[in-house]
Amino acid sequence: MSHTEGRIGVPVFLETGQVFDELTHRRAEEIVGRYPVARSALLPLLHLVQSVEGCVSQPGIDFCAEQLDLTAAEVSAVATFYTMYKRRPCGEHLVSVCTNTLCAALGGDAIYSTLSAHLGVGHEETTGEPAEAGAPGTITLEHAECLAACDLAPVLQVDYEYFDEQTPDSALDLVLALQAGGSPTPTRGPALRNFRTAELEIAGIFPDADERVAGPSLAEPTVRGVRDAERTGQHAPPGDDVPIPPLPEK
């Protein structure tokens, strides 16, 4: 039985012996302080844990429960619901290949197969030995159900930054560059860092925000309809002209 499997319906998390340091505790306090109800901070706290460990471990579950006065079962229920929370440590980079309908039809499956064959890993598996997870050049590969960029299909993400209109060859070149220690430029968004830094930023902590240089935030195909509407004088009706139907009485 693997370290992420247990009895049916009973989640099992990696036992790492992790003790979270003073900086992580301070960051957790900062995150919790943003919310009027402490338990609302659970999602970013889980990302904070991943920024330290590269996954959500049993100590990470216990840490979040302690910070928010929740039970470990309550935290586990959330951590096992969302696929962004990993139960095995990710590599230096997480490569997410969209294999949902449109991307798959346009080459997403071929991209995933090419990368899987090159890396020698499958879904949510990491190159190298488990103890080396997070080491320079290590890659975790995963299927992604939808990356919300159908107009730019097929797409993949590296540490949640977009690389649009990919092919098997371009995706392989991208991964080879990552393995060699490179930092390819995403199609949109800021420059690449690594999975753990991305998780820290998703948690809402930006230790080097002044150094972050944003790239373009949109692609022309995404706004082509808006541009055409502006050019031809089309517009949506104003909202105040639309009557709001009454709500049925309970």
Annotated binding site: 98, 103, 146, 150
d(CA 134, CA 138): 6
- DSSP annotation of 7 reads S
SS3 35: coil
> How, if at all, do strands 93-98 and 139-144 pair?
parallel
d(CA 92, CA 137): 6
Could you check whether the bond before residue 154 is cis, i.e. omega within 30 degrees of 0? yes
Residues making up the annotated binding site for [2Fe-2S] cluster are: 98, 103, 146, 150
Q: Which are the contacts of 77, defined by CB distance < 8 A and separation ≥ 6?
A: none
Give 55-122 as a DSSP string.
Answer: S--HHHHHHHHHHHT--HHHHHHHHTT-TTS-SS---SEEEEEE-SHHHIIIIIHHHHHHHHHHHT--
Six-digit token pair at 133?
Answer: 């997870």
